[in-house]
């Protein structure tokens, strides 16, 4: 069973001063503060570089920075989570003993049309061709939910408020300011009923994790084990006319751990309503009861600020989630520490959940 022994983070935000390679270098420097880097393979996730520069030379740059010649590349919204899973599988197979996983993107250098293109890639082709955006797709799902369960849209406004409260205690978050439900309600409509302050901001950033084998982990202090993982591609919830995400439900079917009992939840809140979809799809509560469950357990959900406060860096999101869980399970999360946290789960999605990558972490093997 592979274990995470260290994490590095390049602050998320509009990093005009650095390109992807420089952000990776910042990652590696942070990683060296807690552990020497002596990996055998690098698993790299990135979307932005080939779109901006029209070539694939980032892989070569990362190899030069790390001194490790073998690079596996992943390019999709949940690429970071998938890279983490592939690295763990390489270790568990016995092929290697130590792997470095990196996710990096420079979204601020992309045009709004390019970001729109990326965000809609997972939607059905005919929907995309007819101009359906990711925000509009989530808005349709939220409207369906509000009608089906007799909810009001302003009930969702507590979700970004909580995200910013957690983000205010995270030095690597893009947004470290507190916001109020009133501010959310007064912000501009993005796609009715979703308002601007309910949307994560696409930005720049990088995250890196160092994984080792079960045997190697014994010589390190407080390793965090990637106990189980799954990734599933399935029909969109929108396609089925429901708000439970089929890919999450099917992925959970491949996991033995009772994920509802996790101490830490890192959920995909590119739009705040996504939190509700994720928590209900995981089976933590009955459909229609997600808001109440989240309110009761908000101190252990998206403890670093989630995508909403941290910023949306497609290729690094899953690794940032894993890094936050690692800090919590090592009792190293400072002001945002959840007491006695022993286990965690991360949910990383493409689009509205056409693909779901789920990772389960524990201090125990």
pLDDT in tens, 197-208: 999 999 999 999
Q: Beta partners for 33?
A: none
Span 286-340, pLDDT tens digits: 999 999 999 999 999 999 999 999 999 999 999 999 999 999 999 999 999 999 9
Least confident interval from 63-77, 80-94, 277-291, 351-365: 63-77
Contact 207, 343 (CB under 8 A): no
Total length of the chain: 365
CB atoms within 10 A of CB 124: 17
Query: What pLDDT is attached to residue 329?
Result: 98
User: Which pLDDT belongs to residue 18?
Assistant: 94
Interval 51-62 mean pLDDT: 90
**pLDDT, tens only, 158-192:** 999 999 999 999 999 999 999 999 999 999 999 99
Per the prediction, the chain carries an average pLDDT of 95
pLDDT tens string 238-273:
988 999 999 999 999 999 999 989 999 999 999 999
> CA 120 from chain center: how many Å?
17
- Per-residue pLDDT, averaged over 53-76, amounts to 90
What is residue 304's three-state secondary structure?
coil
Could you give all domains of the chain from N- to C-terminal order, each with its CATH number? 3-110+204-223 (3.40.47.10), 133-200+228-362 (3.40.47.10)
**pTM (2 d.p.):** 0.96
Residue 56 pLDDT class (50, 70, 90 cuts): confident
Write the CB contacts of 27 (distance below 8 Å, at least 6 apart in sequence): 8, 9, 10, 102, 104, 206, 207, 208
DSSP structural state of residue 284: S
């Amino acid at each position: 069973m592979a274990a995470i022994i260290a994490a590095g983070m390049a602050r998320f935000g509009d990093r005009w001063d650095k390109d992807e390679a420089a952000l990776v270098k910042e990652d590696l420097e942070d990683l060296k503060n807690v552990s020497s880097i002596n990996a055998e393979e690098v698993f790299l996730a990135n979307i932005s570089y080939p779109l901006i520069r029209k070539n694939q030379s980032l892989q070569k740059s990362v190899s030069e920075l790390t001194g490790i010649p073998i690079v596996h590349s992943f390019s999709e919204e949940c690429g970071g989570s998938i890279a983490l899973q592939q690295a763990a599988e390489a270790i568990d197979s016995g092929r290697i003993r130590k792997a470095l996983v990196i996710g990096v993107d420079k979204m601020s250098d992309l045009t709004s049309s390019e970001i729109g293109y990326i965000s809609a890639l997972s939607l059905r082709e005919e929907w995309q061709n007819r101009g359906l955006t990711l925000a509009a797709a989530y808005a349709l799902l939220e409207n369906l939910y509000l009608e089906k369960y007799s909810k009001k849209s302003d009930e969702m406004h507590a979700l970004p408020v909580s995200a910013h409260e957690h983000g205010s205690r995270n030095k690597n978050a893009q947004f470290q300011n507190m916001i109020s439900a009133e501010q959310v309600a007064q912000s501009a409509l993005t796609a009715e009923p979703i308002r601007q302050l309910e949307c994560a901001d696409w930005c720049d950033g990088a995250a890196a994790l160092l994984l080792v084998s079960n045997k190697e982990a014994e010589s390190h202090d407080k390793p965090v084990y990637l106990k189980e993982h799954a990734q599933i591609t399935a029909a969109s919830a929108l396609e089925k006319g429901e708000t439970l995400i089929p890919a999450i439900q099917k992925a959970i079917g491949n996991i033995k751990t009772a994920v509802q009992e996790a101490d830490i939840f890192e959920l995909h809140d590119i739009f705040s309503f996504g939190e509700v979809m994720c928590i209900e799809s995981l089976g933590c509560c009955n459909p229609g009861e997600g808001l109440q469950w989240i309110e009761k357990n908000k101190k252990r959900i998206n403890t670093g600020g989630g995508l909403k406060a941290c910023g949306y860096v497609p290729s690094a999101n899953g690794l940032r989630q894993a890094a936050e869980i690692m800090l919590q399970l090592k009792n190293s999360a400072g002001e945002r520490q959840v007491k006695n946290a022993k286990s965690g789960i991360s949910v990383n999605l493409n689009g509205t959940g056409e693909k779901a990558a789920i990772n389960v972490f524990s201090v125990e093997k």
